[in-house]
Amino acid sequence: MAAPVLLALRALNLGDLLTVVPALRALRRHHRDHRIVLATAGLLEPLAALTGAVDEVLPTPTSDALVFSGPVDVAVNLHGAGPQSHRALDALRPRRRIGLGRPELGWPGPPPAELDALHERVRWCAMLADHGIAADPEDLRLPPPADAPPGPARPVVVHPGAAFGAKCWPADRFAALAHRLAPLGPVVVTGGPPERPLAEQVAAAADLSEDRVLAGRTSIGELAALVAGAALVVSGDTGIAHLAAAFGRPSVVLFGPVGPERWGPPEGPHRALTHAEVRRGDPFAEDPDPALLAIEVDEVEAACLEVVGMGGCVATAARGTETP
């Protein structure tokens, strides 16, 4: 007899998946006799496998594209408060529904407004707790992937891109920082295919060779392997920051329109930098948020040296390097 199916919906991006790893593991522990199907972007399948909580990935780019053939015993909405995601799961006719509460749609659970102020990892664990499923928001670490990483060993990973301009620290500052970080390890610049011109701009200004530009040249598994072996990761508020947290690698994350209290890294060798006092708060704006622009290169460099545990001689060498 086939195992009953638990289908969890999280049809979002890299960082979004990594923030629900604790919730997925809690579902795995609570439903040991179920086949766990995760509806998410197909390219994230290698990371879903690393969680140890997912039996199958159902490629689903958006909640509206959710299609599953066969009976679903338990539907879990880890996507949002609905109504679109709730209705997409309702169409599967599950026996049980687990998610944020929408009584008008027949969904039990905690009111979304009660959890909105929580960190994203904590939010979904609290939702499960309301349904009687114990979850630990600190259960987020992933084992290193088997993929062979591109580029040099123990790299300093600089990731200048983000989904929206509001979250992008200026390219010239990333370049100045990359130049200063050379004493910490070989610097590489990452990003997706659309971000390759930005990566090339940063690398050129930092006097890095073309082979150090890995943007557009890595699969999701290769990027994960690169981060898992990194000496340091520096980025804005985007998916690669969550990869660094998942693998416990030293990281510095620059926050603009949205503060670290909702999406920031956990305790450990990580630092979140922002200037909330000047925050505009529009995450979809085309230009960088003032809270991001207020972060200076010296401030980021100091945080980098702190998280990698470097001492006085390297700090002096890094600060003494001429800025391009």
189-248 pLDDT tens trace: 999 999 999 999 999 999 999 999 999 999 999 999 999 999 999 999 999 999 999 999
Domain interval for residue 117? 5-130
> From CA 140, how far away is CA 41, in angstroms rounded?
19
Residues 95 and 206 in one domain: no
Residues 118 and 181 in one domain: no
Number of structural domains, the chain?
2
Domain boundary (115, 130, 145) is at 130
Instruction: Look up the CATH number of the domain holding residue 280.
Output: 3.40.50.2000
- Specify if 141 maps to a domain: no
Q: Which residue has the tokens 């998410």?
A: 40
Q: What is the pLDDT of residue 196?
A: 97
Give every CB contact of residue 270 below 8 A, 6+ residues apart in sequence. 244, 245, 250, 251, 252, 253, 307
Element (H, E) at 239: helix 239-246
Residues 166 and 306 in one domain: yes
- Specify if 169 maps to a domain: yes
What does the buried/exposed string (b/e) look like for 13-30 if buried means 16 or more CB atoms within 10 Å of the residue's CB?
bbbbbbbbbbbbbbbbeb
- Per-residue model confidence as pLDDT tens for the chain (324 residues): 799 999 999 999 999 999 999 999 999 999 999 999 999 999 999 999 999 999 999 999 999 999 999 999 999 999 999 899 999 999 999 999 999 999 999 999 999 999 999 999 999 999 999 999 999 999 999 999 988 888 899 999 999 999 999 999 999 999 999 999 999 999 999 999 999 999 999 999 999 999 999 999 999 999 999 999 999 999 999 999 999 999 999 999 999 999 999 999 999 999 999 999 999 999 999 999 999 999 999 999 999 999 998 323 333 333 333 222
- Specify if 49 maps to a domain: yes
What is the full DSSP assignment across 113-167?
Answer: HHHTTS-HHHHHHHHHHHTT----TT----PPPSSPPPSSSS-EEEE---SSGGG
